[in-house]
Structure 1
C-alpha cells in the first residue's frame, strides 16, 4: 500500500493508511491510496470503514472482470485495463508466434475527496499517474484531476499498443509478398496479431462508457466545469483508439485472406508448370514406347530409324516448350 496526501493544494509526506478515513473527512484535503494485490480481509475492512459497496469490492478482487464504471450514491467504482507491449523475441520458423500484448487490471473507488486504486499487476506505471496529476494542477481541480491522470495513462498505453500492432501488421504486409518468407510462420504471425487485436478491442471499446460515466458524475461541482475540456479531450482519444483498433482488425483480416489467395495462386502456378512439363515429357515417352513395340516398323533396328525418332522427339519438345513459354505456362 502506498499513497499521497494534499492539503490546501500542497503535497504532504504524512500519508498513513490507517488514518485514511480521517483524511477523507477533512476539508481541503485530497487523498490517493494505491493498493497492490490486496488481501480480501483488509480491503473488506476498508470498505466497511469508508462505506464502499460490497459488490464493488468483490469486483475489484475478481479474477476476470469487464471494463466498466458503476455509479453509487456515495462513490463511483470503475475497472479499466492498462496494456504494455513487449518486444517480439526471435523464434524459429516452426515455433508459435508469442503475444506482444500484456494486460493489467486497475480498479478504482472514487470518493468526494479521494481515490483508492486496486491493482492486481505490478507492471502498470502508477508513478506516471501521480506525475500527470501534478501536471494538471494538483488539488485545484480535486479528485476529478486524479481520476483523469489515471485514465490518461491508461489511454496512452492503448495508443502505444495500437501503434505497435499497426507496425507489426505493416511488417506482415511486407512479408506477405516476400518469396523467402515461410508461409507457415506468416500464418502464425497473422493469427497471433488477430488474437492481440481482439484482446485490445475488448478493453478499449468499453472505455467510452467509463470516461463518459465518470465525467458526468460531477465528482466535484466546483471544479467539474474546468475539467470538462480535458475529459472531452480524453474521450476523443478513446474514440480515436477505438476506431484505429477497428481499422487494424479489418487490415489483419485482409492480410489473412490475401495470404490464402496468394497460396491458391501459387498452387495454380505450380500445377500449370507441372502440367506443361508433363506434356513435354510425354513426347519422348510416346515415341520411344512406339518404337519399343514388338512389331516391325520402318527403320526399326537401323541408324536411320534412330535418327528419325530422335529428331521427332527434339522437334516436338522444342515446339511444345516454345508454345508453353509464350503462354507463360512454364
Structure 2
C-alpha cells in the first residue's frame, strides 16, 4: 500500500492563481447544506448510477454496483455517519480496505490521501463560519466536520461526519454537467474538494472581519480588555488552519502524479483546487500573524496603561506624603517646636502644607505624571 499523507511544509513558491475551470460544480456563494435526514439504521442518504455523464434512473442501491460495472459507469453512494455495523456490508460489497473503513467510521482524521490497491481514500475537513452578534472570550467562530471519499474504478463513496456539509445540492449541480461527470468518479472527488476549499475561502473572509473588529477595538481611544477575545479567535483560527494546511500535499499528488483512477484530463481541475488551497492557507497564516501583532499591541497598551496608573498613584502618594509628614512631626507634642505657642502657628502650618502640595502637583503635572 502506498500512502500520501498531508504535511505542513509549504512549497518553495506559491503559484499564481489561475481562473476557475469552465466546469465549476458550485456557484459562488452557495451554502453548505444541512445534514439530510436518514432513516434509523440506514446510513445511505443518496445513491445514483452514472453512465457517460448521465444518471441512470430506476436503479436500486442493492443493484447499483452491478449496473455500473455492466454499463461501464460508476456509482455515487452518499453516507452520513455510518456505524461500523451499518458500513460492514457496504465495505464488503465494494471491496473497501479495512483500515480506510475504520478511519471513515470513527472519523477525527487529518486531511490525507491514501492509496489502497486500485482505489483511493481521501479525507477532507469541512468548515463553516458560526455567526455571532459579538465576539466574546467563549464564542465559537469555526465549526468543522469531515468528508471521507472512497474512489474506485466504478464507485465513489462519500462519508460525512458533522451537521453541515450536505452534498445533495452538489449532486444536483453535477448532474447538470454531464461533460464533467463523464470523467468518472474523480469528477465527484474534484467537486467535493472544490466545494470544501471554496468554503474555506468564505470562512477565512468572515474571520478577517472579526480580526478587523478586534484591531479597531485594541487601538480605539477607549480602554478595553481584548486579550481574552484575541486568544479565542487565535484558537478558532488554528482549528481552520488544521483543516486547510494538510490538504496541500494530497491535492498536489492528485494534480501532479499519475493515479490510475484519476484521468489526466482531471489533473488541471485538481491543480486549480490546490491553487485556491494555497491562497487560503496563506491568508490564514497572514491573519494569524496579524492577530499575534494585535495581541502584542494589546499587551503593550495594557502595560502602558498600568504604568500610567502607577505613575499617577506614585505622584499622589508623594503629594500626600508632605502634609502627612508635617502633621506627624507636630503630633509628637514636644515642648520646643517652631511656632508652637504662636496663635498664628496653626494656620501657617496649614498654609505651608497647601503650598507644598500645590508645588508638587504642578511639578508632577508638568512632567506628565498627572
TM-score (norm 1): 0.89
Distance 1:111 1:23 in 2: 15
- Give CA-to-partner distance per residue, 1:9-35, whole Å, 9 cap, x none: 323333421112213313352321101
Correspondence for 2:323: 284
Mean Cα displacement is larger for which, 247-256 or 274-283?
Answer: 247-256
Structure 1 stretches lacking a partner, 5+ long:
none
Mean Cα displacement is larger for which, 135-144 or 75-84?
Answer: 135-144
Distance 1:243 1:25 in 2: 43
Whether contact under 8 Å (1:7, 1:29) holds in the other structure is yes
Correspondence for 2:240: 200
Distance 2:87 2:260 in 1: 23
Correspondence for 2:276: 237
Is 2:63 the counterpart of 1:19?
A: yes
Distance 1:310 1:68 in 2: 81
Alpha-carbon shift at residue 46 of structure 1 (Å): 1.8
- The one of 126, 139, 149 equivalent to 2:181 is 139
Is 2:349 the counterpart of 1:309?
A: yes
- Give CA-to-partner distance per residue, 1:139-182, whole Å, 9 cap, x none: 23322221111001110111122122222122111222346565
Whether contact under 8 Å (1:70, 1:76) holds in the other structure is yes
Q: Note the 1:213-224 alignment, pairs <5 A.
A: 213-215=253-255, 216-218=257-259, 223-224=263-264
Correspondence for 1:44: 88
Structure 2 stretches lacking a partner, 5+ long:
1-43
Mean Cα displacement is larger for which, 22-31 or 265-274?
Answer: 22-31
Whether contact under 8 Å (1:81, 1:106) holds in the other structure is yes
Alpha-carbon shift at residue 135 of structure 1 (Å): 6.3
Distance 1:151 1:23 in 2: 27
Q: Which has the higher contact order (CA 8 A, sep 6+)?
A: 2
Structure 1 residues 126 and 148 mapped into 2: Cα distance closer, same or farther (>3 Å)? same
- Give CA-to-partner distance per residue, 1:196-250, whole Å, 9 cap, x none: 12211111111112212333344557x523x333222111001111111222222
- Secondary structure of the 2:148 match is strand
Q: Cα RMSD over matched residues?
A: 2.3
- The one of 301, 305, 309 equivalent to 1:262 is 301
- Secondary structure of the 2:339 match is coil
Distance 1:19 1:290 in 2: 105
Correspondence for 2:367: 327
Whether contact under 8 Å (1:101, 1:196) holds in the other structure is yes
Aligned residues: 323
Whether contact under 8 Å (1:194, 1:252) holds in the other structure is yes
Is 2:153 the counterpart of 1:109?
A: no
Whether contact under 8 Å (2:78, 2:157) holds in the other structure is yes
Alpha-carbon shift at residue 311 of structure 1 (Å): 2.4
Whether contact under 8 Å (2:125, 2:196) holds in the other structure is yes
Distance 1:328 1:261 in 2: 19
Distance 1:52 1:266 in 2: 62
